[in-house]
Structure 1
Amino acid sequence: MIQVFKGRKLYAITLIFAMLGALLPMATANAAYNLVWSDEFNGTSIDANNWSFETGTGSGGWGNNELEYYTNRAENARIENGNLVIEARKESYGGMNYTSARLKTQGKKSFKYGRIEARIKMPVGQGLWPAFWTLGSDINTVGWPKSGEIDIMEHVNSEGNTHGYIHWDVNGHATYGGASHAVDVTQYHVYSIEWTPSAIKWFIDGVQFREANIANNVNSTEEFHKEHFLLLNMAVGGNWPGSPNSATPFPAKMYVDYVRVYQDGVAPPSSGPIVSGGTYKLINVGSGKALDVQSAGTAPGTNVQQWTDNGTNAQKWTLYQNADGSYKLISVNNGHALDVAGSGTADGTNVQVWNDLGNGAQKWNIVQNGDGSFKLINVNSAKALDVSGSGTTDGTNVQIWTDNGSGAQKWTFVKL
């Protein structure tokens, strides 16, 4: 038994069994999931249908001797430029010397199994402790650790890695996990788990670094075969990171671009499931016209436009899901990928077809809108596939543009 300070309690880490725990830098994520829920943080305020706040100091600094007071103020949590911003501040509040925020989906959204991911960038500094994690939905009745806890991502101080852990009950607290491979947390990365009846696997940008065996409730892991809710927070101080010092930067901001949950074999509630390997036509909601390769061209660099739905191969696209959950769209007409010209990131950058390269300019996150349509967000630029000027005529150019929720950025997928 090894005593360490870590996580949300003073943990007694019991090394019970081999949990498939070696770093696994060559393993990549499963591509067989469909998006079932997401928060893209593109509104003007935090969505109360998805998130609630935990406030105050908790019991004993949330069980970890943390030093912050969690608030529900905009100073500590808000939507800003398409991100959830959680901001830790050095200020006197509620008898504490720091403030921050802690959000949860408890009672609103909960999940069992699937891929759970968030795209996050974080501050570094002594005493800072941002996290993306889950708790069992029955925590109010069974308590912790019988509820189970999955730490998808935790980062402390200025370390050049993150951590992934699980916590559960085996006649007392048990834990398993450890550090990731090297990563610059001050840049955006996708932190995720793949959670199945057999295992929990941890990934950064689709690259696996750890795995825990939970098959058949091995070693009393029944906590991981029930619904969990999600949490995002940034603690200040506590048993694991220790206290801030004079060099710790305040205010310290954690940016969350999105949170997404995918599940195997679950169809989005629209015109049918988006199937990796399926062929579709994409009809723009604003114009009623199809995503089209201009003049059925076959050369790399051929322009992409909208055109009256005519059923030709120039309007047929085969979708393949990438390891990171995004999709590439391959033109049936020419075998080229839907591509942002020059890997551009500016509003108005043209969309074309180009040789399939697998880069971010050819990766698209397909996100369901409330009306059942979809938006396609380019991974490289974080901007939406858009009909120029909300045009409705044949030949109107297709481009990328800041996500604004307009009909020009909404697409219906029709399976062929």
Structure 2
Amino acid sequence: MYNHRQETANSSAAVTPVRAGTPDSDTITPVARINPFATPYGSMPASRTGSTTGLQLPEQRYFHSRRMKKGTVERPWMDRKDPKEKWVTIIPLLGIFFGLAITGVLIWDGLRTVVNHVYCPVLDEDFSGGLNSAVWTKEAEVGGFGNGQFEMTTTNDENVFVRDGQLYIKPTVQDPALIESNNVIDLLADGSCSSTLWSNCITGTNVTNGTIVNPVKSGRINTKAGATLQYGRVEVTAKLPAGDWMWPAIWMLPVDSKYGPWPRSGEIDIMESRGNNYTYQQGGNNIVSSALHWGPNSANDAWWRNNVKRKALHTTYSAGFHTFGLEWSEKYIFTYIDTRLLQVMYTQFDKPLWKLGQFPLSDSNGTRLQDPWSFTGRDNTPFDQEFYLILNVGVGGTNGWFKDGESNKPWVDSSKTARKDFWEAREQWEPTWEKDGQMIVKSVKIWQQQGYKGC
């Protein structure tokens, strides 16, 4: 029978060859060497080896573990403790305690500044009954609205209409016949002009000097006639347009310019964006921004003090509907997207806006600038009056909203022929308007804060 154990022992032993016999003999006799991993033979009694001569025979031994009884292992380190060792436990516990305390204070401080106001409904518009003329007014102008915009706004259904219970504000290309030959657009003649300024109501084409009428038609509507508020909330659920050089906006202006012409009486921009795609260097329809405008004159507008941008996450604002909101009180004003937790711009009225604006002592011609709001004694002036809502889609402009020299912009703001340069590049931008070149509004909701304006 094959002896596996003996074979294992023999194969485990190293072999050292020695010569046997006479010096001339070539016979080599291997001598076994003890396995260094086996139990030493010297530790085994002769009775265990089975030898009657007392010689220890080779035998493979294996290690056998056994459970140690509790208390049989000496632990000298337990007899004397290091006094510094307790801090290993105390310091982390102190860190947790102070961390929880600071967190609690911050939460308390945040909650005590939040006021859950009570509101009265002012407008709940879903456009199921069309565009209510008692609330909404279509504006018709050709002057560029102070920004040198290229569109003229119209009162017809081509640019502002309701379809399937949704409001559309859609820019369209101007009639080429009005641009390619001498012509005049006179909104005063038909009484449709919504401005009292002559320059906002009449424009024309002069083929000699390169002046043209507005190369685009679009829409702008407001709630001045039927829905205003002084402190409250606004929510507009809309899908923004996709189209190069479009300028969609949801914003507010004062009903009465109590503190003087723009921007002395303020402006609230809930949402502004651009129709260009996400590759546009300044941010296209994947980015929206909010801001307040206020200042002693148009050259000193403090909008940069609180202008904030919000980028869409892995999408664009033209890919689906979003709710653009505003919450406004005597103590603060903020804008948000979809939820009040996702704030965009936040301004706390904890000091006079004249100080917040950091205006210079004088303007460029040396005239000293005067604070037009301090006489009210309110920190939030001029944002303490009634405002109304505006929805529009502008196109182009010469005020820097589209920066010169970026993303193949086809005009220069300072050029006297900026409108014409834009028109001549229509083969570049017009195709981008075909699919989603309109702002679609699903609903508009306005609430008045209790305690103001009859609420």
Query: TM-score, normalized by length of structure 1?
Result: 0.53
Give the Cα–Cα distance (whole angstroms) in 1 for the partners of residues 228 and 332 of structure 2: 19
Match of residue 180, structure 1, among 295, 300, 310:
310
CA separation of 1:194 and 1:121: change in aligned 2, threshold 3 A: same
Q: Which moved more, 1:76-85 or 1:42-51?
A: 42-51
User: Equivalent pairs: percent with the same residue?
Assistant: 28
User: Relative to total residues, which structure has the larger helix share, 1 or 2?
Assistant: 2
Give the Cα–Cα distance (whole angstroms) in 2 for the partners of residues 215 and 208 of structure 1: 19
Q: Is the 8 A contact 1:36 1:266 kept in 2?
A: no
Q: Is the 8 A contact 2:119 2:232 kept in 1?
A: no
* Aligned amino acid, residue 182 of structure 1: A
* Aligned amino acid, residue 137 of structure 1: V
> Does 2:270 match 1:135?
no
Match of residue 227, structure 1, among 370, 382, 386:
386
Q: Is the 8 A contact 2:247 2:396 kept in 1?
A: yes
Q: What pairs up with 1:180-219 in 2 under 5 angstroms?
A: 180-182=310-312, 184-186=316-318, 187-206=320-339, 207-215=342-350, 217-219=352-354
Matched length: 241
CA separation of 1:104 and 1:223: change in aligned 2, threshold 3 A: same
Corresponding residue SS for 2:130: coil
2:158 paired residue number: 75
CA separation of 1:197 and 1:140: change in aligned 2, threshold 3 A: closer
Q: Is the 8 A contact 1:67 1:237 kept in 2?
A: yes
Structure 1: any 5+ residue segments left out of the alignment? Answer: 1-25, 274-416
Q: Is the 8 A contact 2:308 2:344 kept in 1?
A: no
Give the Cα–Cα distance (whole angstroms) in 2 for the partners of residues 125 and 90 of structure 1: 13
Q: Is the 8 A contact 2:323 2:338 kept in 1?
A: yes
* Aligned amino acid, residue 55 of structure 1: A
Deviation at 1:39, TM superposition (A): 4.2
> Does 2:283 match 1:153?
no
Deviation at 1:192, TM superposition (A): 0.7
Deviation at 1:125, TM superposition (A): 2.4
2:135 paired residue number: 50
Give the Cα–Cα distance (whole angstroms) in 2 for the partners of residues 154 and 256 of structure 1: 15
Corresponding residue SS for 1:143: coil
Corresponding residue SS for 2:147: helix
Deviation at 1:168, TM superposition (A): 0.8
Q: What pairs up with 1:189-338 in 2 under 5 angstroms?
A: 189-206=322-339, 207-215=342-350, 217-219=352-354, 221-239=380-398, 240-241=401-402, 245-246=428-429, 247-250=431-434, 252-265=437-450
Give the Cα–Cα distance (whole angstroms) in 2 for the partners of residues 125 and 215 of structure 1: 40
Give the Cα–Cα distance (whole angstroms) in 2 for the partners of residues 33 and 253 of structure 1: 35
Deviation at 1:118, TM superposition (A): 0.2
Corresponding residue SS for 1:75: coil
* Aligned amino acid, residue 262 of structure 1: W
> Does 2:121 match 1:36?
yes
Deviation at 1:37, TM superposition (A): 1.9
Give the Cα–Cα distance (whole angstroms) in 2 for the partners of residues 264 and 142 of structure 1: 25
Deviation at 1:82, TM superposition (A): 1.4
Give the Cα–Cα distance (whole angstroms) in 2 for the partners of residues 31 and 190 of structure 1: 20
Q: Which moved more, 1:83-92 or 1:174-183?
A: 174-183
Corresponding residue SS for 2:229: coil
Computed over aligned residues only, the root mean square deviation of the Cα atoms, in angstroms, reads 2.9
Give the Cα–Cα distance (whole angstroms) in 2 for the partners of residues 98 and 197 of structure 1: 40
CA separation of 1:218 and 1:69: change in aligned 2, threshold 3 A: closer
Q: How big is each residue's C-alpha offset from its partner over 1:237-293, in whole Å with a ceiling of 9 and x where there is no partner?
A: 1131365743431472111111111234479x9xxx9xxxxxxxxxxxxxxxxxxxx
Q: Is the 8 A contact 2:130 2:162 kept in 1?
A: yes
Q: How big is each residue's C-alpha offset from its partner over 1:336-377, in whole Å with a ceiling of 9 and x where there is no partner?
A: xxxxxxxxxxxxxxxxxxxxxxxxxxxxxxxxxxxxxxxxxx
Deviation at 1:216, TM superposition (A): 5.5
Corresponding residue SS for 1:222: coil
* Aligned amino acid, residue 212 of structure 1: T
Give the Cα–Cα distance (whole angstroms) in 1 for the partners of residues 165 and 231 of structure 2: 27
Q: Is the 8 A contact 2:230 2:449 kept in 1?
A: no
Give the Cα–Cα distance (whole angstroms) in 2 for the partners of residues 190 and 124 of structure 1: 17
Q: Is the 8 A contact 1:40 1:82 kept in 2?
A: no
Deviation at 1:55, TM superposition (A): 0.6
Q: Is the 8 A contact 2:251 2:271 kept in 1?
A: yes
Deviation at 1:44, TM superposition (A): 4.2
Deviation at 1:115, TM superposition (A): 1.2
Q: Is the 8 A contact 2:290 2:335 kept in 1?
A: yes
Larger radius of gyration: 2
Deviation at 1:145, TM superposition (A): 0.7
Deviation at 1:91, TM superposition (A): 2.5
Give the Cα–Cα distance (whole angstroms) in 1 for the partners of residues 260 and 294 of structure 2: 12
Match of residue 163, structure 1, among 263, 285, 289:
289
Q: What pairs up with 1:334-345 in 2 under 5 angstroms?
A: none
> Does 2:91 match 1:91?
no
CA separation of 1:39 and 1:80: change in aligned 2, threshold 3 A: farther
CA separation of 1:255 and 1:218: change in aligned 2, threshold 3 A: same
Give the Cα–Cα distance (whole angstroms) in 1 for the partners of residues 230 and 287 of structure 2: 27
Corresponding residue SS for 2:391: strand
Q: Is the 8 A contact 1:33 1:114 kept in 2?
A: no
Q: Is the 8 A contact 1:214 1:224 kept in 2?
A: no
Deviation at 1:42, TM superposition (A): 2.9
Structure 2: any 5+ residue segments left out of the alignment? Answer: 1-109, 179-184, 186-212, 278-283, 355-372, 374-379, 403-408, 410-421
Q: Is the 8 A contact 1:198 1:216 kept in 2?
A: no
User: Relative to total residues, which structure has the larger strand share, 1 or 2?
Assistant: 1
Q: Which moved more, 1:175-184 or 1:108-117?
A: 175-184
Give the Cα–Cα distance (whole angstroms) in 1 for the partners of residues 331 and 258 of structure 2: 26
